[in-house]
Amino acid sequence: MLQMKLCGDLVLREKCTPVSDVTPELLKTMDEMVKMMTKQNGVGLAAPQVGITQRFLVMMNPDTEEVYRMINPVILSKSDETSVMEEGCLSVLGADDLPVYANVKRPSTVVIEWTNEHGEKLTAEMSGVMARIAQHETDHLDGILFMDYLSGVKREMLMRKVNRRH
Ligand SMILES: [Zn+2]
């Protein structure tokens, strides 16, 4: 059983190592992560959020409900154009155990490359909410959380709402 790691757990701040092989165990872990993500109405979940410091994640297109299992994802390029969107994280919960949200500015469009669950290398240009999720989730693999992008005051306001477990 995988366990969700919450804000304050240092595993969320680690730089994850590349996955060397697509093993049955890895696929099973990703299946479990998809279940956790959908159960909690999330659209993305990265390995360190379940305590695994390797470079893989799962995410879902909220419009089509298509699920992506990404191994060793790399953002190859980001647009100069930025947009502001509300973000939350299954590892950053408030007193009511629901995610806390904040507006975050990020590049609007990204090109991302990854290996899928069949070991195939794929590349896609993503924009809108998919670009947002891809950036948020790949950040997790480098120990970066969405509130790191907030200014001091806004970050403090958010963190006051966050229920820290550690
Ligand atoms: Zn997150």
Whole-number pLDDT of residue 163:
75
Measured in Å, residue 118 CA sits from the centre of ligand 1 at 25
Q: Which residue ranges of the chain lie beneath pLDDT 70?
A: 164-166
Measured in Å, residue 156 CA sits from the centre of ligand 1 at 18
Q: Are 136 and 87 in contact (CB under 8 A)?
A: yes
Whole-number pLDDT of residue 120:
97
- Per-residue DSSP letter, 91: T
| 10-161 CATH fold | Peptide Deformylase (3.90.45)
Measured in Å, residue 89 CA sits from the centre of ligand 1 at 4
Measured in Å, residue 146 CA sits from the centre of ligand 1 at 7
Contacts of 6 (CB under 8 A, 6+ apart): 91, 92, 93, 163, 164, 165, 166
Whole-number pLDDT of residue 96:
86
Measured in Å, residue 55 CA sits from the centre of ligand 1 at 14
Measured in Å, residue 137 CA sits from the centre of ligand 1 at 6
**In 2-118, beta strands by DSSP E:** 44-46, 56-60, 67-78, 82-87, 102-107, 109-115
pTM, 2 dp:
0.96
Measured in Å, residue 123 CA sits from the centre of ligand 1 at 22
Q: Which residues are designated catalytic?
A: 137
Distance CA 64, CA 62 (A): 6
